[in-house]
């Protein structure tokens, strides 16, 4: 199945070939600060993504082992990838709806913001 995703301004646009049915959410302090709240994502093979247009994709090396991808124009948070990994976590919110995904159990739920009510 082909799904379409993009950042807020559309500078980074991509299609993803995937049969995944699960989305995930991470409440760790890094994802919280990066996303502004909780980061919802799907895990896909990097090779399943095809970028189109003049993608202004930038990477932030936030640890020696992993980097986070974002749009250099609008700043939208898009990717988390371990260095050398064939997989990438992609912001679930970047995709057109309906996604058909269901959310799995939260990761690092103990780190969620104390303003979080669920
Ligand atoms: Zn953008
Ligand atoms: Zn996290």
**Domain positions in the chain:** 2-94+101-111
Residue 49 Cα, ligand 2 centroid: separation in angstroms? 21
Name the band, by pLDDT with cuts 50, 70 and 90, for residue 79: very high
Q: How confident is the model over 10-63, as pLDDT tens digits?
A: 999 999 998 899 999 999 999 999 999 999 999 999 999 999 877 899 999 989
Residue 52 confidence (pLDDT): 85
* pLDDT above 70: percentage of residues in the chain: 98
DSSP states of the chain: -EEEEE-SSSSSEEEEE----EEEEE-SHHHHHHHSS-EEEEEEEGGGEEEESS--EEEEE-SSSEEEEEETTT--EEEEEETT-SEEEEEGGGBPSP---EE-PPBSGGGS-TT---
CATH code of the region 2-94+101-111? 2.170.150.70
Residue 53 Cα, ligand 2 centroid: separation in angstroms? 29
Residue 45 confidence (pLDDT): 96
Residue 118 confidence (pLDDT): 60
CA distance 35 to 115: 15
| Average pLDDT of the segment spanning 59-73 | 95
Residue 106 Cα, ligand 2 centroid: separation in angstroms? 10
Which ligand minimizes its atom distance to the CA of 66?
Answer: 2
Cβ–Cβ < 8 Å for 77, 57: no
């Amino acid at each position: 199945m082909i799904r379409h995703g993009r950042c807020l301004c559309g500078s980074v646009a991509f299609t993803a070939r995937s049969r995944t049915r699960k989305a995930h959410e991470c409440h760790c302090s890094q994802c919280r600060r990066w996303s502004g709240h909780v980061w919802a994502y799907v895990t896909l093979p990097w090779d399943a993504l095809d970028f189109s247009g003049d993608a202004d994709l930038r990477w932030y090396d936030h640890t020696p082992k992993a980097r986070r991808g974002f749009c250099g124009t609008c700043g939208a948070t898009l990717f988390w990838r371990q260095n050398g990994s064939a997989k990438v976590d992609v912001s679930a919110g970047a995709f057109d709806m309906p996604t058909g995904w269901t959310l799995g159990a939260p990761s690092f739920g103990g780190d969620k913001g104390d303003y979080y009510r669920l």
